[in-house]
Amino acid sequence: MSEKIVISPTSRQEGHAELVMEVDDEGIVTKGRYFSITPVRGLEKMVTGKAPESAPVMVQRICGVCPIPHTLASVEAMDDSLGIEIPKAARQLRELTLAAHHVNSHAIHQFLIAPDVVPENLFTTAVESVSEIRKTAQSVVETVAGEGIHPSDVRIGGMADNISEVARKRLYARCKQLKPKLDAHVELIIGLVADKGFPEGLGVTNAPTLATDILYGDRENFDLDRFTEIMPESWYDDPEVAKRACSTIPLYDGRNVEVGPRARASVYGGFTERGVVAQHVARALEMKTALSKCIDILGELDTSAPTMADFDVTGTNKLGVGAIEGPRGMDVHMAQVADGKTQFYSCLVPTTWNIPTMGPATEGFHHEFGPHVIRAYDPCLSCATHMIVVDDEDRSILKNEMVRI
């Protein structure tokens, strides 16, 4: 006798999604399906036909959680399409911005999972340390990228300005000062996750991992030819789910994949653990990697070096790719510029990759663990939804049935 458990929307994650689990008599999940119910964003249409500079400014407004990775993926795609080689200092400043954002965003996630893993007597300590870490990270983004939320100095061709020598020294000192605090915090989180006693093997899937870099992203490591995208009807065997799902299913080598901190650590860091605990551990450890990166860059940055390349925005119609490793995984933007206007734009945002992987990851364990599995992936669906057309033949559009928040 199988029963269906539906959690809608799943909680303490960004964006709206539904988890449908079929369970057996013991409550063990036999089939898990996870899908986005966040309304369509229509981003690609919005930037098409406009000047290339419009894209980064608009995509950073898709979502209030990841404005930084989207801006970076967008300028990287434009740089690639326009054939721009950005100066070294610009690259360092971009890497610094993203590394600081990783620290901030992972800390936010620890705030989200705190009710799951932090005992009452340690709650204040954990939340205060999250807050302190975030303040330093946010200061770095604010100083380096112009604004803390919408990084206005991240531009096609590089960065609008270098930072001053005074700012470099100040941020360097602040990041160094944060290091012991962050190390202790990471240790605390890893310890608390271990103490939680999640069952062995929870959240383990056989999906391959996909990442382009240990922290920043590298378009050379994303092979467009190995990527395909299918409609939810072809993926979910439950027609009700397929009809309600608001995003397409991206596949790499024909398979669903896992992206994010654990995937990065596994592809580039020799990290072999899998499952819920491994997700939390890899994410926490990545905060250390990211802070070290901030310190390294701030230590060696030449603040008198140029940060903008000379370029021509006319474009040659080359399909440019920007691959950025966002906190939740690989964020790929593609842009094609000709005659000074964006002719084509597409985004493959981090959680879209994990959507088909998260459902099966709940299988084999009691359904009460379902939400823990989902949260371990830190899903963010605010920007994931980009499916409008339901029938490629007659171009009919999922409008009347579109889920509205």
Partner 1 sequence: MPYSAEIIVVGCGNILFADDGFGPEVIKALGDYSKENPLPDNVMLIDAGTGGPHFVFSLPHEEWKKMIVVDVVQFNAEPGTVRKFSVDEIPEGSYENVHSWPVNQPLHDLANVCEVMVIGCKPEHISAPDVEMGLTKSVEDAIPEAIKLILKEIGVS
Question: Which positions make up the binding site for Ni(2+)?
Answer: 63, 66, 380
Among 81, 97, 136, 212, binds partner 1 (CB under 8 A): 136
Q: Does 396 bind partner 1 (CB under 8 A)?
A: no
Q: How far is the CB of 307 from partner 1 (least distance, A)?
A: 22
Contact 179, 295 (CB under 8 A): yes
Site for partner 1, residues 226 to 265, rule: CB under 8 A: none
Residues contacting 30, CB < 8 A, separation 6+: 2, 22, 23, 24, 363
Report the SS3 class of residue 366: strand
Which residue, 43 or 202, has its beta carbon nearer to partner 1?
43
Q: Does 356 bind partner 1 (CB under 8 A)?
A: no
Among the listed ranges 140-148, 160-168, 264-272, 331-339, the one in contact with partner 1 (CB under 8 A) is: 140-148
Q: Does 122 bind partner 1 (CB under 8 A)?
A: no
Q: How far is the CB of 305 from partner 1 (least distance, A)?
A: 25
First to last CA, the chain: 33
Among the listed ranges 38-46, 177-185, 237-245, 351-359, the one in contact with partner 1 (CB under 8 A) is: 38-46
Gap between the Cα atoms of 33 and 208, Å rounded: 18
Report the SS3 class of residue 37: coil
Gap between the Cα atoms of 322 and 347, Å rounded: 9
Q: Does 149 bind partner 1 (CB under 8 A)?
A: yes
Q: Does 9 bind partner 1 (CB under 8 A)?
A: yes
Q: Does 14 bind partner 1 (CB under 8 A)?
A: yes
Among the listed ranges 29-37, 148-156, 299-307, 346-354, the one in contact with partner 1 (CB under 8 A) is: 148-156
Which residue, 162 or 382, has its beta carbon nearer to partner 1?
382
> How many other C-beta atoms can be found within 10 angstroms of the C-beta atom of residue 272?
8
**DSSP string covering 79-112, please?**
HHHHT----HHHHHHHHHHHHHHHHHHHHHHHHH
Report the SS3 class of residue 311: coil
Which residue, 13 or 266, has its beta carbon nearer to partner 1?
13
| Binding positions for Fe cation | 66, 383
Strand partners, 399: none
Among 97, 248, 266, 382, binds partner 1 (CB under 8 A): 382
Gap between the Cα atoms of 136 and 178, Å rounded: 8
Among the listed ranges 33-41, 217-225, 227-235, 261-269, the one in contact with partner 1 (CB under 8 A) is: 33-41
Contact 44, 345 (CB under 8 A): yes
Gap between the Cα atoms of 286 and 215, Å rounded: 8
Which residue, 84 or 335, has its beta carbon nearer to partner 1?
335
Gap between the Cα atoms of 40 and 11, Å rounded: 20
Among 138, 292, 303, 343, binds partner 1 (CB under 8 A): 138
The contact pattern for partner 1, residues 40-79, with x = CB under 8 A and - = no contact, is xxxx-xx-----------x-xxxxxx-x------------
* 292-330: b (≥16 Cβ within 10 Å) or e: ebbbbbbeebebeeebbbebebebeeeebbbbbbbbbbb
Q: Name the CA radius of gyration of the chain, rounded.
A: 21
Which residue, 84 or 107, has its beta carbon nearer to partner 1?
107
Q: How far is the CB of 28 from partner 1 (least distance, A)?
A: 27
Among the listed ranges 28-36, 252-260, 276-284, 397-405, the one in contact with partner 1 (CB under 8 A) is: 397-405
| Binding positions for Mg(2+) | 44, 386
Q: Where does this chain bind partner 1 (CB under 8 A)?
A: 9, 11-16, 39-43, 45-46, 58, 60-65, 67, 108, 111-112, 115, 131, 134-136, 138-139, 142, 147-150, 380, 382, 402, 404-405
